[in-house]
Structure 1
């Protein structure tokens, strides 16, 4: 899922196949490194450290390169390399252009990047590849297929959890180039974080260890399908975390160590993992299973009748009275039927909204935000696994805390805060027959099942990666093959739009059309959000920034991808919302008949 999104980036910008560089002698190559790299005792020490590492085998070497050379590389990069902002559901980073033709440049061009040219030749040299092979025990590495880019992580940049399994990759490496002679402190962010796996292909929601990068330090690990999960922590400050990211690949045809069919087998691993993921859905939480509405509720929804006085009075406890005026909700209905999409601002009445807003801000200001899964207490749970999603949630249908697979958080009941009580009360209202009656009038659709979820997306933690619905949404011929979805936005800090409207701090909900088979991508691939590509704007259907007291209604078919962008650590507060989805029947045919 994640790896395919990263693969497209690699194919376009960083991956290339060419003959090994022969410009430098063996002595030249050795001189480009710190001489300790070539000592057997040093290699043995690194090898032992990797063998004893966790959560999976990985290693790091400080002062890897010749110090003077690497300082020159950094200067060249900052003065000669252009960086482009790349942002999708999984990452935000500034990246260099294609480095594939460095060796193919004429001397006038190459003279601008001589140190970078030396560095790339050194990294992919036979000598250094032999060292990496020895200390990791990974086997032979290709000198023909090289794969490297330069990344600049500045304030707000991040890369979410993934295992790096794409194509023929065998070893992943990151060579760090933050400002030399200055310590990169843990509070700056930007650390490499490694995640253990609950079972293969299911990472734990909390990282086990992290590496705070320093100048001239390399981190590396063998790429292991379903196990080598890692991320890059968001950079929190206005500092420049420069790095060279790359991979060593399995040997290509004609190289020592080449095995016929090995590349095809390796390249199939991502697809295999996608197939296996269906079997691993038992580890997903929340399940978001839509429950059938009771027959008596359906019978109350089916007649096409105006709201009764009793229903209107009940709805007024929560809804803004203006949206209960017949002329107003008929206008809403006309707009929704025309566009299959509707935003209703100030949906809650002033009294309820004011109390809820005050209680939510009290939580954000006066209570510590849970950071790890063990900090999360009932009635809240943690959405898992983190290579798909992470956020706090409450399922409105369960007062007992059941079905908590892989949440790793305490499940005992605890006294609910005012905010929790108000959120649960509101979720119960959204599941009421009266609200669904109002919904039916506005949408011209009859709900037949429902799921309602209270959610909190914490700064520096939470997101949902792009996914579609199941291909077959309709469960019977009577149902439409779409979902009716609602997002009640309840982010109190968004009452000042300037806090969120730029999108800089994430937290926005984005819907886009899934790539078609004409793009050469699998139709059921759960998500390639390809921003910054020509024409990509046309595929984006809706982008909704964090809002306060705003209801979004939309009809979503299986071709539409949706995600919630990672919320920056520098956001003014959490994103709060209530997410609802319903299977539906159309009542148009009945009325026509």
Structure 2
């Protein structure tokens, strides 16, 4: 029994197991490496942080008493239960919130005494004053604690976000990988910091990388629209243990509390969120449908059965589509009924065998023999990179010839507002690579009049506008976070062309990501729109349980999925792991659909 336990029993009786958990200043100081209390050390660190890029950040080396932190690590691994959490933005094993440790009785707390000491030390007045000084961020709360323990195993990651939630003022990560061993950069798990093109729009490539070691703490001032960062995927079968937490602004009764500050911070955060929605000029590719003219739309309105296809129609369709989907009226009728009932349809072996075989060989050759472009300046035409990375990142061909510099506001403004504008025309897009030209040819087919006639047979929908994108999601780089569509109703098609999915075992587990998922947002009726808007920060994920998942589609080869999606349905493509067997390849199509006059009148009445 420890001396502190004996004192507790003497004062409260032998039956009491409540622990005296009030540490004095000397005890708190003993929990740290004494160098951090040296004023010269603090002044030097303050200067480093003031001059740091891309925003104010810094780190402590050997921050905590070595013996104490080793004890913390042992306690955590033996006594803490971790839950796997995976959403569109992260995969991690996480403990519960550590804010309530002081409420535990001795039976529980006796298993975590070192962890409690550490939490008390981190939120102590002494350490908060040091962090406040070196960051120049103002006073920090010791009452509002916000801390959890994370384990990043192989495949775990956290995508780009700025940590702006509630009243956070400083973010910190205390690293506890295996002591006495170097955590090498090649293991992954590094903290990566992103510069911004303008506030609320991070650059695609990271600016700075911090590879963690045992007993180091990285920290930065939370700055709305600027403090963008991510955690690189852990690439090897190792545990990257860390304590993640935040310091908040002072609460009522604390030194530094300012009446109304919390409301102003939350209001400012919401304002910036609204402003970020206005910064759509920095979003690429643009989610803009190209409207069809009235003569073309008339082709689809009047098309009703297979017998209306001419020989030229069939010849052109047969060059691409599996013949089973062309002239089998009974099959087409069954598919149409299935789509009418379910609003979703999956067509296996969609492309004919000859076309699919040639395309697969070309894509596979590209993957096996050509280095994947990772940084923006490595990407060559006709491929472009989707931005900004707190929303999405992937390579795409959009049918436009112009290439642009997406790293500067001036270049983006020129592209949007000054330079020549063009409609997508895949006929004008050329490449030196046979695989690109084959994908471009296929995209031209998907934009053809006769293919949209065929879609009319399957969906019974009249299409009035489209967007077609060839996409590649690179391992260790690419994803699309959960987003709502702005249109009320869209017909969407994904032609999945991932050659490595010929072997289902490469993707079916979902461990390597790359899957497409649709889920209900719980909204769509207008009542919760304001509330949902306030939760659109990329660090927050709206999870409604398993019932919210409407559809999941793993990477596949030669499969066309048709979905009729309304504005209440969120969709994302999960980050593709660095350990995936290849890229996810697909062609994404979206079509605006013609609505009945009665439906349009109902919508107008709802708006009024």
- What TM-score does the superposition give when structure 1 sets the normalisation length? 0.90
Q: 1:305 to 1:105 in 2, by over 3 A?
A: closer
Q: Distance in 2 between matches of 1:529 and 1:69?
A: 32
**Residue 164, structure 1, aligned to residue 163, structure 2:** yes
- Aligned counterparts, 1:198-277, within 5 A: 198-277=197-276
SS at 1:260 equivalent: coil
Residue of structure 2 equivalent to 1:361: 364
Retained in 1: the 8 A contact 2:249–2:257? yes
Q: After superposition, what is the alpha-carbon deviation per residue over 1:293-345, rounded to whole angstroms, capped at 9, x for unaligned?
A: 12332121111343222211110000001100222212211111111110000
Q: Give the C-alpha shift of residue 529 in structure 1.
A: 11
Q: Distance in 2 between matches of 1:518 and 1:95?
A: 33
Q: What are the ranges of 5 or more consecutive residues in structure 1 without an aligned counterpart?
A: 1-20, 474-480
SS at 1:578 equivalent: strand
SS at 1:127 equivalent: helix
Q: After superposition, what is the alpha-carbon deviation per residue over 1:343-370, rounded to whole angstroms, capped at 9, x for unaligned?
A: 0000000111001000000110000001
Residue of structure 1 equivalent to 2:456: 440
Counterpart among 567, 570, 584 of residue 561 in structure 1: 570
Q: Give the C-alpha shift of residue 432 in structure 1.
A: 0.4
Q: 1:504 to 1:374 in 2, by over 3 A?
A: same
Q: After superposition, what is the alpha-carbon deviation per residue over 1:390-424, rounded to whole angstroms, capped at 9, x for unaligned?
A: 0000003x234479685999x9x984311100111
Q: 1:586 to 1:338 in 2, by over 3 A?
A: farther
Q: 1:264 to 1:197 in 2, by over 3 A?
A: same
Q: Give the C-alpha shift of residue 586 in structure 1.
A: 5.1
Q: Distance in 2 between matches of 1:238 and 1:528?
A: 28
- Aligned counterparts, 1:105-124, within 5 A: 105-124=104-123
Residue of structure 2 equivalent to 1:579: 588
Q: After superposition, what is the alpha-carbon deviation per residue over 1:248-270, rounded to whole angstroms, capped at 9, x for unaligned?
A: 01001111111111011112233
Residue of structure 2 equivalent to 1:384: 387
**Residue 338, structure 1, aligned to residue 354, structure 2:** no
Retained in 2: the 8 A contact 1:89–1:466? yes
- Aligned counterparts, 1:402-441, within 5 A: 415-441=431-457
Retained in 1: the 8 A contact 2:203–2:407? no
Q: 1:251 to 1:588 in 2, by over 3 A?
A: closer
Q: Distance in 1 between matches of 2:260 and 2:239?
A: 42
Q: Distance in 1 between matches of 2:93 and 2:578?
A: 18
Residue of structure 2 equivalent to 1:309: 311
Q: 1:435 to 1:458 in 2, by over 3 A?
A: same
Residue of structure 2 equivalent to 1:11: none
Q: Give the C-alpha shift of residue 430 in structure 1.
A: 0.3
Counterpart among 458, 462, 465 of residue 474 in structure 2: 458
Q: 1:529 to 1:300 in 2, by over 3 A?
A: farther
Q: Give the C-alpha shift of residue 45 in structure 1.
A: 1.3
Q: Give the C-alpha shift of residue 587 in structure 1.
A: 7.6
Counterpart among 471, 483, 489 of residue 490 in structure 2: 483
Q: 1:526 to 1:487 in 2, by over 3 A?
A: farther
User: Larger Rg: 1 or 2?
Assistant: 2
Q: What are the ranges of 5 or more consecutive residues in structure 2 without an aligned counterpart?
A: 1-19, 416-428, 600-608
Q: 1:415 to 1:186 in 2, by over 3 A?
A: same
Q: Distance in 1 between matches of 2:21 and 2:136?
A: 26
**Residue 350, structure 1, aligned to residue 353, structure 2:** yes
Residue of structure 2 equivalent to 1:151: 150
Residue of structure 2 equivalent to 1:15: none
Counterpart among 499, 504, 508 of residue 511 in structure 2: 504
Task: Pick which of 156-165 and 296-305 moved more.
Answer: 296-305
Q: Give the C-alpha shift of residue 532 in structure 1.
A: 11
Retained in 2: the 8 A contact 1:283–1:405? no
Retained in 1: the 8 A contact 2:189–2:211? yes
Q: What's the C-alpha RMSD, in Å, of the aligned pairs?
A: 2.3
Q: 1:166 to 1:532 in 2, by over 3 A?
A: closer
Retained in 2: the 8 A contact 1:88–1:529? no
Q: After superposition, what is the alpha-carbon deviation per residue over 1:163-212, rounded to whole angstroms, capped at 9, x for unaligned?
A: 00011100000000000000000000000000000000000001001100
Task: Pick which of 259-268 and 119-128 moved more.
Answer: 259-268
Q: Distance in 2 between matches of 1:519 and 1:102?
A: 35
**Residue 186, structure 1, aligned to residue 185, structure 2:** yes
- Aligned counterparts, 1:61-100, within 5 A: 61-100=60-99
Retained in 2: the 8 A contact 1:340–1:554? yes
- What TM-score does the superposition give when structure 2 sets the normalisation length? 0.88
Q: 1:402 to 1:224 in 2, by over 3 A?
A: closer
Q: Distance in 1 between matches of 2:324 and 2:408?
A: 44
Q: Give the C-alpha shift of residue 107 in structure 1.
A: 1.6
Q: 1:43 to 1:227 in 2, by over 3 A?
A: same
